[in-house]
Amino acid sequence: MIRQVSCFSQGELALNEQILQACKELIDDAKMGCVDLVFKEVCLEILSRARNVLTEHQFKQLVAYASMKMNEKVSFEVRHELVMQR
């Protein structure tokens, strides 16, 4: 039986999960606070930086999440209300 050896310790994986969650939160904030074109630029910037620190699996999760958010439409009323709360 062959056992795979992970190059990540438990601490690194926990930190990567926190980074992944923070990236998702940044994407959510940008979705609510930016016009569509700026939002897409912000997503690309987040993805380019996250690529260097997340595992391949986590990065693919983040890409899928960003893609879903890019395709999601937010009504003008909801966006206006969220911006006014800030």
Listed residue (66, 51, 41, 45) closest to 19, CA to CA: 51
Give the pLDDT of residue 8: 59
pLDDT for 15 equals 86
52: its two tokens: 């260097």
Look at residue 9 and tell me whether its pLDDT is greater than 70: no
The DSSP string of 36-70 is HHHHHHHHHHHHHHHTTTS-HHHHHHHHHHHHHHH
Q: What is the pLDDT of residues 35-70, one digit of tens each?
A: 888 999 999 999 999 999 999 999 999 999 999 999
Mean pLDDT of the chain: 82
Domain boundaries, the chain: 32-85
Which pLDDT band holds residue 1 (cuts at 50, 70, 90)?
Answer: very low
Q: What is the pTM of this model?
A: 0.72
